[in-house]
Amino acid sequence: MPSELKTPYDSQGFVIVPDLIDLDSLTRYEDAAERTISKTRTGEWPHRRTVGRQFPPYGEDNPDSWGVQHLMHLDLGEPAWIELYTSAYVNVAKELLECEEDDLQMGECWMIMMY
C-alpha cells in the first residue's frame, strides 16, 4: 500500500511535508547555503560543478558553477549539511524513493543548486 507521502508524489510530482523544516532550521540551512555558495564562487571550496560539464573534470577555468560537491566534507566547515543526513529528511527521501538508507547516495542527493 502506498504511503501518504508517496501517493501525491506519484500523481502530482511533488509532495508537501508539513512542519518538516522549522524556522530555526530553515534559517540555519539558508545561512549555510549562502556561505557554501560564497566559498565555491570565490574558489575557497574547489569541489563544484561547472556549466557546460556534466562529468569530471569540471575545469578550473570556468567561473560559472551550478552545484557544489562534497557538502558533508569536514573541511567545508558546514555542520548543517551533516545534520541533514542524520535527520527526518532522510526518512522522507527513503519513503518517496521506496528504498533503504544504504541505497541512497547522499553526496549526490544533497547538492546545492546555485541560481
Q: What is the pLDDT of residues 27-70, one digit of tens each?
A: 999 999 999 999 998 889 988 887 776 666 556 666 677 788 88
Angle among Cα 45, 111, 92 to the nearest 5 degrees reads 145
Its sign, for the CA torsion 86, 89, 91, 96, is negative
pTM, two decimal places: 0.68
